[in-house]
Amino acid sequence: MEGKQHVSGPLDGILVVDLTRALAGPHAAMMLGDLGARVIKVESPGSGDDTRGWGPPFVQPDQGERESTYFLSTNKNKESITLDLKDDADKAVLTELVRRADVLMENFRPGTLDRLGFGTAVLAELNPRLVTLAISGFGHDGPEGGRAGYDQIAQGEGGLMSLTGSGPDDPQRVGVPIGDLLAGMYGAYGVLAALLERERTGRGQVVRTSLLAAIVGVHAFQGTAWTVAGKVGRAQGNHHPSIAPYGLFHCADGSVQVACASESLWRKLCAEFGFDPEAPGMATNGERVEHRGEVIALLEGAFAQIAAEDLLARLNKVGIPAGKVRTIDEVYTWDQALSQGLLVDVDHATLGPLSLPGPPLRFFDAGPGGETETTRREHLAPPTLGADGDAIRAWLSGGVAQPDGSEDVEDGHAT
């Protein structure tokens, strides 16, 4: 497999078998791949991952099939093999992958993997050190455990849409499939914990999460507002329900976002724009929340004749946290985003050079001579369907060097 270079990282030597499709599971697997794990993506023959057909937008190379930008977003740093899990020969290939793997990820409906002959007991017998991640829509058990789960349905069922929108009668989905992404993040976090525990026990375990659990897991203060205080949160647009002023404010040629999350910041704001910080209804955060409409009117009245860039400059000068609302294209051309490694370059098999969103983590060796960044810099482009199948089969059957250049495996886990 020419061009697939071994790249070190915190998870160097970890082998992940990715049976997932769509977004939650593939995102979890990509997170581990970004950290240096070798990820082998198992796809259905012919069609592959569902997201290969999700679009537009698609990108059409000069020769060959079109590529989905959706698929490209969540499958970098992976290899691809196609297996029909109802075919005995292909099931034998998966069996060999399981024996060598550290992690297996799946997001079938609960019970599907059992019917295919790879239930948890079988997996544990094949490889006692295997960590399995299972992501479902609403949980693997319980009265609705078998429900199919898609992100927008889970956003609604998990209460998130009731908190998002211009008002209580305007529920809105978050602009990205946040339930899927959160489930992937929680899943990767659980896998890392299980791998760490394996160092102590010598055995793997099953990690389970769901879109429902992931969404409830980020209710934060809205959750305790209900469980502790009995208050049901509702959507209220672009202003914080518990802090004021904190939100989006209109000005002469657009809008800015302002966050006064402390009394000292409120007083700085008042000093800059000539407000009385002790005015009735304004002296404390609790009072300002109760009089939010008046606070918004006060600020927008003062901002009405000020251009956004000038307003941001004034706010920044006096230390008030503030910002603009950028479009996606503006984010990927912003010097600060680029400085954080949030755009990476890869070489795709059919599309050639591409830029993709980069991983959100950076790593540093904090030695006595100062910090040295060790963040992974070279990334693999998302694979074309089945691109690595022949090489993976050769490795499994012949015990040859792995495609990434490291040695073969022993004792049921990657060395």
CA distance 80 to 385: 6
Residue that is written with structure tokens 């019917």 in the block: 115
In order of 92, 126, 271, 375, 395, the CA distances from 402 in angstroms are 19, 21, 65, 23, 6
**Annotation says 62 is catalytic:** no
Residue 51 is classified by DSSP as G
CA distance 183 to 186: 5
Per DSSP, the three-state class of 366 is strand
Yes or no: say if 172 and 220 are a contact pair by the CB < 8 Å rule.
no
From the candidates 62, 180, 253, 310, which is the catalytic residue? 180
Helix ranges restricted to H, 35-177 = 69-72, 88-100, 112-115, 120-126, 151-157
Q: What is the dihedral of CA 393, 192, 28, 17, to 10 degrees?
A: 10
CA distance 243 to 288: 8
Instruction: Enter the tokens of residue 72.
Output: 């490209």
CA distance 207 to 185: 13
Q: Which of 210, 36, 191 is nearest to 102 (CA)?
A: 191
CB pairs under 8 A, 24+ apart, for 161-169?
162/233, 162/234, 162/235, 163/222, 163/233, 163/234, 163/235, 164/235, 165/235, 165/237, 166/235, 166/237, 167/234, 167/235, 167/236, 167/237, 168/234, 168/235, 168/236
State the catalytic residues: 180
